[in-house]
């Protein structure tokens, strides 16, 4: 749950990066990361499917029309105008929070389901390490394979969610059926948990996720597919790239992919 202070800090952090992005080449990786991170921040602050996010997504960073003879500086000017518009919009959002939010968040400021799952995924490795180092070397769960990941994730999901259904049957693909790791029936969210290992790095994990996406597009209770890839050994060389490639809308299915931990 975001309070007023945290909401302002997150928006101000993204606004503070506008000037840095403005000095990068147009549509650089830094710009793309900033834009996506800002979309996530706005969603976490105001919720999903709000006008706040729509207004940001409508900011244009390129020329609406141009010819082969259009000077290069006009493209740069359009890009800079877009960043100025984004900066002004972020300031407006900050002003809105300062002016109209109370210090206690209202129900519509609750974090989205996806943001709550993202937090669990980001904290998973910390929890796994904490359980591993118990007092007097007492027995504990060692997260060594996907079953261990699923057991620990199930326990963590119970903090935020009530109706967690394990291993519901998923629709078949090419005649083969499989089971879902977790189904949040009320929220219409399917959660798939994977653990990297020898033979399951970025390429193989991506291929498996594409099969999962195709399968869950036909599932009647799946509106969102949340895929958590636990990568404690850093087998995925470019986790942000894998997340970016697959995190999007696939038909009627919203897909969010999180690889954690990163950079360890």
Question: For the residues of 184-204, what is the DSSP string, one character each?
Answer: ETTTTEEEEEEE-BTTBSHHH
Under 8 Å between Cβ of 104 and 91: no
Residue among 26, 96, 99, 25 nearest 56 (CA): 96
- Which H helix or E strand runs over 164? strand 164-166
pLDDT confidence of 175, banded at 50, 70, 90? very low
Reported as a single tens digit per residue, the pLDDT across 136-155 is: 777 888 889 999 999 999 99
Q: How far apart are CA 149 and CA 147, in angstroms?
A: 5
Q: How far apart are CA 72 and CA 124, in angstroms?
A: 47
pLDDT at 243 over 80: yes
What pLDDT was estimated at residue 168?
63
pLDDT at 105 over 50: no
Sorted by where each starts, the structural domains of the chain and their CATH numbers stand as 4-109 (no CATH), 113-260 (3.40.91)
Q: How far apart are CA 171 and CA 153, in angstroms?
A: 23
At residue 37, the 3 state secondary structure works out as helix
* pLDDT-above-70 percentage for the chain: 90
Helix ranges, 59-169 (H): 72-100, 113-132, 146-157
Residue count of the chain: 264
> Rounded to 5 degrees, what are φ and ψ at 151?
-65, -45
pLDDT at 131 over 50: yes
Mean per-residue pLDDT over the chain, rounded: 87
- CA-based Rg of the chain, rounded to a whole angstrom? 21
Q: How far apart are CA 260 and CA 264, in angstroms?
A: 9
- Which H helix or E strand runs over 34? helix 29-46
Helix ranges, 166-260 (H): 202-216, 239-246
pLDDT at 218 over 90: no
pLDDT at 248 over 50: yes
Gap between the terminal Cα atoms of the chain: 28
pLDDT at 172 over 60: no
pLDDT at 263 over 70: no
Instruction: Categorise residue 141: left if φ over 0, alpha if ψ from -120 to 50, beta otherwise.
Output: beta
**Which residue do the tokens 């993202």 mark?**
118
> Rounded to 5 degrees, what are φ and ψ at 76?
-65, -40
pLDDT confidence of 82, banded at 50, 70, 90? very high
pLDDT at 170 over 80: no
What pLDDT was estimated at residue 183?
92
């Amino acid at each position: 749950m975001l309070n007023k202070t945290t909401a302002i800090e997150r928006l101000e952090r993204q606004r503070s990066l506008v000037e840095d992005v403005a000095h990068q080449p147009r549509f650089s990786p830094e710009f793309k990361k900033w834009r996506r991170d800002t979309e996530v921040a706005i969603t976490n602050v105001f919720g999903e499917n709000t006008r706040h996010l729509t207004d940001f997504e409508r900011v244009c960073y390129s020329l609406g029309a141009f010819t082969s003879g259009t000077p290069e500086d006009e493209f740069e000017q359009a890009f800079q105008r877009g960043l100025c518009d984004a900066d002004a919009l972020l300031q407006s959002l900050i002003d809105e929070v300062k002016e109209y939010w109370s210090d206690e968040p209202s129900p519509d400021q609750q974090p989205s389901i996806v943001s709550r799952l993202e937090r669990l995924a980001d904290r998973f490795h910390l929890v796994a390490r904490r359980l591993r180092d118990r007092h007097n070397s007492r027995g504990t769960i060692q997260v060594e394979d996907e079953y261990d990941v699923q057991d620990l994730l199930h326990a963590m999901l119970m903090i935020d969610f009530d109706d967690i259904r394990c291993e519901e049957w998923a629709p078949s693909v090419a005649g083969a059926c499989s089971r879902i790791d977790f189904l949040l029936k009320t929220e219409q969210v399917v959660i798939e948990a994977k653990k990297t290992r020898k033979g399951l790095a970025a390429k193989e994990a991506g291929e498996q996720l594409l099969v999962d996406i195709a399968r869950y597009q036909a599932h009647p209770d799946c509106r969102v597919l949340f895929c958590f890839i636990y990568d404690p050994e850093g087998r995925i060389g470019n986790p942000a790239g894998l997340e970016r490639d697959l995190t999007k809308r696939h038909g009627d299915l919203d897909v969010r992919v999180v690889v954690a931990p990163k950079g360890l």
